Structures are given as structure tokens and as C-alpha cells.
Structure 1
Amino acid sequence: MVLFSNADLERIVSGEVDLAFRSWKRPMHAVGGRQRTHAGVVEFTAIDRVELDEITESDAGRAGTDLARLRRFLTTKPGEIYRIGVRYAGPDERAALRDRSPDGAELDEIVERLRTMDGRSRHGAWTRQHLSLIDRHPGELAETLATSIGRDKLPFKADIRRLKELGLTESLRVGYRLSPRGRAVLARLRLTASDAGWTPG
């Protein structure tokens, strides 16, 4: 993952910045790859290894800095230097998905996908439990949520990212909350559980 500052992301979105430079032990992305950020999706249009003395003042300007500062930054970490072309590829499609209320057929499809995720899980059915937990405790630390159900933080966060891919959760500065789409899905899951004689989570 390439970490971008908020200022750099704003300039990538505006088109002012179209290059980045990083010191990597190995390439971390491929041409055409994309990275989601809070400002939208960044696409990598080129990735080339370069020598430090090949970088020009113009290159540094296109990366949103000056040459002296860029050279200092690149020599703070071991590795080879890569010149990375970047462009704004549009908003994160999950943002629009989160706010879209699913109809009956789409709800059924999402519920079936969650059942499949539960069935493939090595730690048992978890999707309804995790959605219910976030619904009850929005903005709570991930570690606190994980500990409350006897799970380690990193695997727990990985599962929450899978729910986020479906547009069901949103990341906050601290913790998570359900999206409107997630609330609709949880309501359907609870209704299904009630109809089956289960205790809703």
C-alpha cells in the first residue's frame, strides 16, 4: 500500500499531482492496480525503478514537493527507488453502495452471500453477530469489539473489511457503524432468525 497524505490526495484528485516516489524492497503495486483511499480511488499508471540522481526538479514538482525534500525522504528508508504514476480514478464505489437501499431480491442475494461466508468460515457463523455488534456499539475500538466476543483484533478487522466490501459497514475515525444498507440487511437477518425460532442478535 502507498500511503498518501491528505494534502497529496487532494492534489491527486485535482490532477495537480500525478507522480509519487517510494523506496521499496520490492514493488508493492502493479501498473493498472488501484488503491482505495478516503478521497476516492487512486490508480497506478506506471511503476519504474529509477536512480536517485535521475529524479529531476520537474519530477519532484509533479509529486507535490521539491527535489531536495524528495531526496531526503527517499534516503530515510532502505530499498530501491520507484517512480509511480498516479491518477484519480473516481470515487470509491462502496460509498454509493452503502447509501443504496436494497430491494427484496437484492436483500435475498446479500443474505445468501453472508450465509456462504458463514459456511466457509473456520470460526463458525459470524456475519449476523458482527453486524449486530457494530449496530449496538458504533464507534467502539475494534480491539474492544473483538475482545468482547473472544476474537483477536486482526482477524476480526479482516472480517469487518469483508462486510465493508458489500457496503454494509463504514469505518469511522474510531471503530465502525452500519451503513443504511447494512441496517436493512441486519433487519432482514433478524426477521429470518425470528421466523426460524432463533434469538435475534
Structure 2
Amino acid sequence: MLLPPKIASGVREGTVTLAFRRWRRPDVRPGSEFRTSAGVVRVDAVETIDPDRISDADAVRAGHPDAGSVLRRLAGEADWPTYRVTLSWAGEDPRIALRGDDTLTDADVAALDLRLDRLDRASSHGAWTLATLELIRRRPHTRAPDLAAELGRERDPFKIDVRKLKNLGLTISHPVGYEISPRGLAYLTRTSRTT
């Protein structure tokens, strides 16, 4: 479930506790959690509702000025069910703490070697992990299209791959470009894998 940054921040602050979505089938289940720009958000409840019963008070709890605003923004087919999703903030994105952890043990390095090897083997375009890490280390805060072009890749698949490195705590995303995290730098310093 995607939440715009403003809505995600509202969940974190406790001012937004609802979301309304029109789906063929629910995209989330109670108890599930997902990462947002403001941290981890938990789904507390999912229920089907009549969209005409969305109140102005519910709309405000969803970060909208009134019910009409919610109805105008409901995407999907008009005959799909409308869902009221109750949300709460579950905590900081665990990748933030992970990326700052630069005290890598030998076991940590071996585990990262294994994960990066798997990513390289699963790739349709060959080994990419170390080349991407080294490129980001050399060119921090550089636009993704420029980095992708340097590697002879398309922007969107490149960005998906960088997200995989971010999930391992090795990179940090910025409004423009990326940088190697302290964990990523420690890994590159400690590993025998070099480009």
C-alpha cells in the first residue's frame, strides 16, 4: 500500500489514522506492515464500506478536508468495493538503524557476500552489485539516470536494483541520487570482493 509522504507523516504524528481505497481485492490485511517515507505503518483493520457513508470526520482522519475530496481521489473501477483501512505508526524504518551499523563481524561480511552473490546470480543482466556500490561511492548524490547510463542500464531497473542494496542497509537514498551508508562503506572496506 502506497502512502504519499504527507499522509505517511500524518500517520507517524497520529493525525491520520484512516485510508480509503477502491480495490478489486484488498491489497493489505490486518496486522501487515509496510515501509513509508515516515517509517513503518501497521494495518490495524480493513473493512468494506459504502463510499457514500464516508463522513467528513472520517475524511479528516484520512488527511482530507472532507468526504467529497476522498471520493474524488478514489482510484479504480467504480464497481470495485471501497475499503476503509485503519492505520497506525509501528516505528522507524529498520533500514535506518541497519545502514548506520558499521561494526561488521566476519559473519556479517560473509552474510552480505552471500546475499550479493545471490542478487548477481538472479540478475538477467549479469553481476551488478559491486559495480553499483562502487559507482555510488565514487559519485554520491548523482542523478539515477546519469548513474544508470554510466553502467549502460535503463533508469528504472537500475533504481530497483539500488533499492535492493538499500534493503540490505548498504545505500542511502536522497532527493537527488544516493550515497554509500556507513554499513556499506564498512562492507566495501572489509570485503575482498573488489571491482
Task: Report the TM-score, using the length of structure 1 for normalisation.
Answer: 0.84
Contact 1:111–1:185, Cα closer than 8 Å, also in 2: no
Distance 1:83 1:116 in 2: 39
Quote how far apart the aligned CAs of 1:94 are: 0.3
Quote how far apart the aligned CAs of 1:20 are: 0.9
Q: Secondary structure at the match of 1:132?
A: helix
Q: Secondary structure at the match of 1:85?
A: strand
Q: Secondary structure at the match of 1:123?
A: coil
- The number of aligned residues is 191
Equivalent in the alignment of 1:45? 44
**After superposition, what is the alpha-carbon deviation per residue over 1:173-201, rounded to whole angstroms, capped at 9, x for unaligned?**
01111100001111233xx14xxxxxx43
Equivalent in the alignment of 1:147? 149
Distance 2:145 2:25 in 1: 31
Contact 1:49–1:83, Cα closer than 8 Å, also in 2: yes
Distance 1:94 1:57 in 2: 36
Output the amino acid matched with 1:147.
A
Distance 2:11 2:115 in 1: 35
Structure 2 stretches of 5 or more lacking a match?
Answer: none
Q: Secondary structure at the match of 1:27?
A: coil
Task: Report the TM-score, using the length of structure 2 for normalisation.
Answer: 0.86
The verdict on how the C-alpha distance between 1:105 and 1:4 changes in structure 2, with shifts beyond 3 A counting, is: same
Equivalent in the alignment of 1:4? 4
Contact 2:5–2:37, Cα closer than 8 Å, also in 1: no
* Residue in structure 1 matching 2:124, options 115, 122, 125: 122
Output the amino acid matched with 2:97.
A
Q: From the CA coordinates, give the structure whose radius of gyration is larger.
A: 1
- The percent of aligned pairs where both chains have the same amino acid is 42
Q: Secondary structure at the match of 1:125?
A: coil
